[in-house]
Structure 1
């Protein structure tokens, strides 16, 4: 079960990191470059990007930011996994908010830009650009920051899960390393048998197990 939990967390980290990187690249390279281009060029390039980016590879990562994180959180439900679950819960909230920013704010702006039609036939390209660029860039930065924060929190979840598993293994090794006689004696003592709490070396009928030898001889 530990391996399955770790696998889902790795998928959550990978998908979140990839999407954070995509939006980060927009923020530091694509949009600053297009800011130096003319209105018609910006509209044309962004229309094309918004079409080609809808592909299985992007959608797997984009949907995985929420899906894989939610699955990892579900697999860590339980008091024994509470520390890791807290980290995963925070990451899930961050990814859900970032997902909502994309779907609720950036995508409608993309749709409005596409609805403007062929850039060559747009009468007022400056107005179309003004309605799109500044707002889209602002919300792209917000979602990039949110996904990056979620990525860092998921790394914390991986670390917490590793520490917790290490403690569990140490406890198991400590129990397994106890002397057999000690473990057996504890078992007999818990069972409440007639020799509960006595050392196994003290056999019934021996001088150490009963009265002194002289008293035993007199009783005979």
Structure 2
């Protein structure tokens, strides 16, 4: 069960980190580059990006930010895992907020842009761009920040889980030396330095 709990927590952390990184890349490269293009080129590029990004690899990561975090939380129920569960619960809240921003704000903007039709046929591409770009960029930054915070919190959860596992292992093997402790020097009629 320990391996299953750890695997779920690693998957939640990985999915959250990948999605946070994707939105970070949008904020730092994709959108600034598109800001330098003309209206029709920007609309055309974003319409194409919004189509190709709906693929299994993205969806596993994106849905996994919430799904894997819920799984990790469920596997950490119980008094002995409470301190890890608190971290996972906080990450879940952050991931749900980011997920809601994407679903409730970025996706409708994407749909609005798609509904504008072929960029070559749009009568007023500047207006279409103005209705989309600044709001989309703003909400992308918001969701990126929330996913990044969730990633950091999940890293904290992994750290706490490791400490808990170490304590549990030390308690299960009382004859072993716990981390941070030192064995008493062996003495058999002589000091630790071989002198009487």
TM-score of the two chains, using structure 2 as the length reference: 0.89
Q: Which runs of 4+ in 1 moved over 3 A?
A: none
**Which position in structure 1 is the counterpart of 2:108?**
108
**Which position in structure 1 is the counterpart of 2:82?**
82
**Which position in structure 2 is the counterpart of 1:21?**
21
User: Shift in Å at residue 145 of structure 1?
Assistant: 0.6
Q: How many residues align?
A: 177
**Which position in structure 2 is the counterpart of 1:51?**
51
User: Shift in Å at residue 176 of structure 1?
Assistant: 8.3
Q: Cα–Cα, structure 1 residues 133 and 161, in superposed 2: closer, same or farther, change >3 Å?
A: same
Structure 2 contact 170–176 (Cα < 8 Å) conserved? no
Q: Distance in 2 between matches of 1:98 and 1:156?
A: 19
Q: Distance in 2 between matches of 1:91 and 1:48?
A: 32
Q: SS at 2:25's partner residue?
A: helix
**Which position in structure 2 is the counterpart of 1:158?**
158
Cα deviation 1:128-187 (Å, max 9, x = unaligned): 00000000000000000100110010010000000001011111111789xxxxxxxxxx
Structure 2 contact 47–114 (Cα < 8 Å) conserved? yes
TM-score of the two chains, using structure 1 as the length reference: 0.79
Q: Which structure has the larger Rg over C-alpha atoms?
A: 1
Q: Where do 5+ consecutive residues of structure 1 fail to align? A: 178-220
Q: SS at 1:174's partner residue?
A: coil
Q: Where do 5+ consecutive residues of structure 2 fail to align? A: 178-196
CA RMSD of aligned residues (A): 1.1
Higher RCO, 1 or 2 (CA under 8 Å, sep at least 6)? 2
